[in-house]
A and B are shown apart, each in its own frame.
Chain A
Amino acid sequence: MRRWLFPLAALAGLIALSLSLGAASFGEDAGWLLMVSRLPRTAAALLAGAGLALAGVVVQQVVQNRLVEPSLTGAPEAAMLGLLAVTLLAPGLAVAGKMLIAAGCALAGMAGYLALAARLPREDPMLLPIVGMVYGGILGAIGVWAAWSADLMQYLGAWRLGEFSGVMQGRYEWLWAIAALAGLLYVIADRITILGLGEAQARSLGLDYAQTRALGLVVVSVITALVLVTVGAFPFVGLVAPNLVARWRGDNLRANLPLIALGGGALLLAADVIGRLIRYPFEIPAATVIAVFGAGVFLWLLHAAPGRRHG
């Protein structure tokens, strides 16, 4: 239990820092400021980070590769394409409808990636993230082209670079659905772990492989769509948090899921806080901060010796 003490204290400190930080100073309407702006922003960063980290674990188990994460599967780009289509064809659609369509497109995008991945040789694990990146780039290029011809580049810009400066009460509540999805993942954690053993092994252990995989991917696409529509895309969160936790605590997914969620949330919140601190009172998008930090961790994972494995 003492091992938890330090991370939780660090998280509490981070939350306090995030709540006290902003261009407006606390005056007599401090409670109002806190409720309308600071708390929603902090919660949004925590929820989005937790969701992306959990989605990262699921994707890594499905493709059996630790160097992959949702943003390297074309899912966010596919969701953006869906959102563009909605904006063009049915601009009046309710947010729930937009979310659904974005999630469906993310799922389709990921299915395309899995089809590609199945054709790649297993011996070369690093091909998977490379192909994912190029595949996402292709979908992104289509999106840019469509947005350019339809004069929607500003929409696209808002989704491509995730940040929290626009988060206020009433603008982020959809992210709480991530908490429900996290609960669902916790229930099926053992099955997701078995997914990571590969299809043949999983079947011989009596798992309905196709169904479990489909369920996992649906959760990933819904999380991707939720985060994308409310705050935008963030790279590397789904890669860094699960890998760091696995190096520290080993591979017991059920035990690790809460830690991974907390880690992802803390990571994104820290990125947001750093982005707000570097040149106070101006802001740097959290996605930019996390891109630099996450890329550093990725390079380290790529070149460092494999970590110790616990049981």
Chain B
Amino acid sequence: MAERRVLWLALALLALCAAFLAWQLRAPMGFILGLRAAKLGALVCVGAATGAATILFQTVASNRLLTPGLVGFDALFILLQTLLVLALGGVGLAQLPASLRFGMEVIALAAASTALFGLLLRRDARDVTRMILTGIILGVMLRGLAEMVQRLMDPSDFAVVQQAMFASFGRVEPQQLAVSAVVLLAALAAALRMAPALDVAALGRSTARGLGLDHDRLVLVTLLLMAAMVSVSTALVGPITFLGLLTASLARQLTGSHRHAILLPAAAMIGALILVAGQFVFERLMGSQSALAVIVELFGGLLFLALVLKRRRR
């Protein structure tokens, strides 16, 4: 049943991608197709990464209201990115090969986030709202710190950071996209292989430990995977706070499943669907460029409020 719905999702995504590529295609076809394919690739990668990362995070934190973006995960990425430029200089960083740079970023992010959020998850796992609030405020702080460091930089170095942060859907470098796609696919595959263990982890730490799961190790590995996914999406387009929340809720509603083997691909595909469909509507039908992220934030925020209010009634 749920498997079939995942299949339908895949078909819908394929159809939408085809429409995105072929809509009002005029000469020079090859050139336009190339541009559109790069954009489509970025949208799919970011949507899939955000969706899957959110499911992972919600499982580890045992909380359906959380997304990595909401607790400052992407702010951490931006800060690290900034510090990296500050340490190496814009030119030095530009000379690094893309894959090496990406690897360094993911490792740094994974280390920092594991230290930070691992501590958070362990200490405050039961006090869920305090944990969310801590994460949000931490996010504000990290963003402020990143901004401060950016103000201290040379203008040329700052330009490098800015490009890394806001490489919008319109201007994706094929090389960066290729590296991101490879990293993302690897992370997704690893997460899918862990799906049964994640199902157990979703029962809560003590239950999972009772069933013989090495919970702490699983959390560590999951945080690493999340770090890889979040860095993919943030490196490509910058932060979209509520996309993950929207995607994960839709995935749970639509599949009605608790199995991660179903949830992870479903969330990844729904994330891609939302972004591709949104971009299609805004860019092709309404002729406006940058509204997509804002609209996603708007509906995601409304959904968050609805979930909070609904939680009370139960």
Contacts and interface: CB of A to CB of B under 8 A. Distances in A.
Contact of A126 (B129, B288, B294, B312): B129
A124 B311 CA distance: 12
B94 interface: no
Contacts, number: 96
Q: How large is the interface on B (under 10, 10 to 19, 20 to 34, 35 or more residues)?
A: 20 to 34
Q: Which of A119, A121, A129, A288 has the most CB of B within 10 A?
A: A288
Contacts of B290: 148
Given A127-B129, A288-B147, A133 B136 contact: yes
Interface string B128-141: 01101110111011
Interface string B282-308: 000000101100110110011011001
A28 to B, nearest CB: 33
A279 B154 CA distance: 12
B1 interface: no
Nearest to B296: A141
A129 B130 CA distance: 10
Given A124-B129, A292-B145, A299 B298 contact: no
B144 interface: yes
Interface string B111-137: 000000000000000000110111011
B148 A302 contact: no
Contacts of B288: 148-149
Contacts of B252: none
Contact of A279 (B152, B294, B309): B152
A295 interface: yes
A292 to B, nearest CB: 4
B140 A130 contact: no
Q: Which of B133, B144, B148 has the most CB of A within 10 A?
A: B144
Contacts of B141: 291-292, 295-296, 299
Contacts of B132: 126, 130
A295 B72 CA distance: 12
A278 B147 CA distance: 13
Q: How large is the interface on A (under 10, 10 to 19, 20 to 34, 35 or more residues)?
A: 35 or more
B302 A138 contact: yes
A135 interface: yes
Given A120-B309, A129-B133, A288 B302 contact: no
Nearest to B288: A149
B308 A131 contact: yes
A83 interface: no
Interface string A280-311: 00101000110110011011001100000000
A139 B144 CA distance: 21
B217 interface: no
A166 interface: no
Nearest to B141: A295
Interface in B136-180: 136-138, 140-141, 143-145, 147-148, 151-152
Interface in A142-164: 142, 144-145, 148-149
A295 B302 contact: no
A134 interface: yes
A120 B308 contact: yes
Q: Which of A120, A137, A142, A282 has the most CB of B within 10 A?
A: A137
Contacts of A116: 305, 309
Contacts of A148: 288, 290-291, 294
B59 interface: no
Given A116-B305, A134-B304, A295-B137, A284 B148 contact: yes
A298 B134 CA distance: 9
A299 B294 contact: no
Nearest to B65: A130
A145 B291 CA distance: 6
A235 interface: yes
Interface in B36-95: none
Contacts of A298: 137
A268 B140 CA distance: 18
Contact of B133 (A121, A279, A289, A302): A302
Interface in A78-135: 116, 119-121, 124, 126-127, 129-131, 133-135
Given A129-B133, A299-B137, A289 B148 contact: yes
Contacts of A121: 312
A131 B305 contact: yes
Nearest to A289: B148
Interface of A: 67, 116, 119-121, 124, 126-127, 129-131, 133-135, 137-138, 141-142, 144-145, 148-149, 235, 278-279, 282, 284, 288-289, 291-292, 295-296, 298-299, 302-303
Given A120-B308, A284-B148, A302-B134, 10 more contacts: A126-B130, A127-B129, A129-B133, A130-B136, A131-B308, A134-B304, A282-B151, A284-B151, A288-B147, A298-B137
23 contacts: A116-B309, A120-B308, A120-B312, A121-B312, A129-B133, A131-B305, A131-B308, A134-B301, A134-B305, A138-B305, A141-B298, A144-B294, A149-B291, A235-B140, A278-B148, A284-B151, A288-B147, A288-B151, A291-B140, A295-B144, A299-B134, A303-B130, A303-B134
Q: Which 8 residue pairs of A and B lie closest in terms of their CB atoms, listed nearest first?
A: A295-B141, A291-B144, A292-B144, A138-B301, A126-B129, A141-B297, A141-B298, A145-B294
